[in-house]
Amino acid sequence: MTGALLVGGVSSDAGKSLVVTGLCRLLVRQGIRVAPFKAQNMSNNSVVTIDGGEIGRAQALQARACGLEPSVRFNPVLLKPGSDRTSQLVLRGQVAGNVSARSYVEHREELRQVVAEELLSLREEFDVVICEGAGSVAEINLRSTDIANMGLAQAADLPVVLVGDIDRGGVLAHLFGSVAVLDPADQRLVAGFIVNKFRGDRTLLDPGLEQLAALTGRPTYGVLPYDDQLWLDAEDSVSVVASAQVGHAATPIGREWLRVAAVRLPRISNSTDIEAIACEPGVIVRWAAHPADIADADVVVLPGTKATVADLAWMRQNGIADAVVAHARSGGPVLGICGGFQMLAKWIDDRVESGVGAVQGLGLLDIDIAFEPAKNLRRWQPPGLTGYEIHHGTVTRSAVAPWLTDHHEGAVDGAVWGTHWHGVLDNDDFRRTWLTEAAAAAGRSGFVVAADTNVGGCRTAQLDRLADLIETHLDIDALKAVWEESGWRGSATSPPVIAHSR
């Protein structure tokens, strides 16, 4: 059996995905055959895989870091929230129904078996498998049904390294407390810690890490610095903050900026589509959650959503819908992607996702949408445009021209564009053409699109930047010893148990 490690977190968005991604990239650079694995993910940011399924986008990025095509093997269980209480269950890349928090328990034995089979298969094929936990390892109320954190670690005998985000404050308590609330059997699998997003004088933190080691009997394998240049491929909507700027706007090529407002929908999905626009010099992209956020925008983007009808109702309730329509009626450019595209229609007939039947769309495109029970999963590869489709809604009537003419897909009417394709803006020439047309429609004649922006290259550069941070700031040899047979699990001593009153 080859080596494996579980990178767990003390909270959601602690940095697990980035640590796994960086570790994978570094090991590949060292000539090691490595694969990522997340037993269960809960995210609406997903991609279509090479084997025709659907997985979390973070695992697709991790696969890229490993030099691998995305596969359902890397994320066999995906939960896509459609409301606060229900999620779509995607099993080995295919929809297996909708579950509530309570009904999900009924599937646990089947899911455990699927997870165990996929992880075993990967460990037989690769030198190392770097597993990512889900949320917090300290969710002891969910321990009996856990298949992604300590439940997975126990089942596969995996050592666990915990990641904590010091930028939130209280990281020493989070790391200590996360271990302390675990049962002794789970505690013994926790090998040590990684501190993420540190800024300031490291010598002020070191005494705390020494005390943490004395209290827990576990080392800290390194402290990763805060790096605001790492912003591409956010894991999920936790990282999408209303009114915040996306990325870091570079100086314009021409004499004018182009201001883009991307609506921050409650059930936003595949928010990473927006990042390709934010890579362009002279483009300022901000998340919009109020009508005022759209007032001074040149371009409005409606991104994907897991709940088209519900999020459209939210837009109408808070006034954003009226602001978007007014922007378009005055000639302002609007782009809709997947669920955002569906919102632009005259009518939406949804008896699948929301079950409400026919509702009026924004009416900015003369098309009708109907939701089908079967999900459309398709991955488009070269030659031609690249992208992928993940949607239940389909165009049933169109009185306007298609936007992606070679595929007779999407729709365009003046300065209003829409497509079901995710990732289409990653195509550099296509994106440049669209930005030029959008800027002209917005009256920004002084905006000039860059001729050399390469989104794929930007993502690759971030992967290597992550690997460099991991290599510089973590004790890689000590981490390797954790997952190798000669490591801590094979020694005469094991991490001590922290007594607790539970």
- Give the separation between CA 327 and CA 421, rounded to whole angstroms: 23
- CA atoms lying within 13 Å on the CB side of residue 80: 30
- Give the separation between CA 193 and CA 447, rounded to whole angstroms: 47
414 closest CA partner among 365, 375, 463: 365
Based on the residue annotation, tell me whether 420 is a catalytic residue of this protein: no
Based on the residue annotation, tell me whether 338 is a catalytic residue of this protein: yes
Query: Tokens standing for 229?
Result: 């240049």
83 closest CA partner among 41, 44, 39: 44
- Give the separation between CA 338 and CA 421, rounded to whole angstroms: 6
- Give the separation between CA 57 and CA 78, rounded to whole angstroms: 11
End-to-end CA distance of the chain: 35
Find residue 302's DSSP bridge partners. 336
For residues 366 and 414, the answer to whether their CB atoms sit within 8 Å is no
CA-based Rg of the chain, rounded to a whole angstrom? Answer: 23
| Residues ≥6 apart with Cβ < 8 Å to 141 | none
For residues 143 and 134, the answer to whether their CB atoms sit within 8 Å is no
| Residues ≥6 apart with Cβ < 8 Å to 202 | 223
Decide the pairing of beta strands 46-48 and 54-56: antiparallel
- Give the separation between CA 72 and CA 56, rounded to whole angstroms: 9
- Give the separation between CA 454 and CA 447, rounded to whole angstroms: 18
> Which stretch of DSSP H or E encloses residue 343?
helix 339-343
Task: Give residue 54's identity as a one-letter amino acid code.
Answer: E
Give me the sign of the Cα torsion angle 51, 158, 3, 471: positive
CA distances from 374 to 87, 97, 225, 371, 392 (A): 16, 11, 45, 9, 6
Decide the pairing of beta strands 220-225 and 190-198: parallel
Catalytic residue among 327, 338, 391, 420: 338
Query: Tokens standing for 170?
Result: 């209280």
Decide the pairing of beta strands 46-48 and 357-360: unpaired
For residues 418 and 341, the answer to whether their CB atoms sit within 8 Å is yes
- Tell me how many degrees the CA angle 469-473-476 measures, rounded to the nearest 5: 100
Active site residues: 338, 422
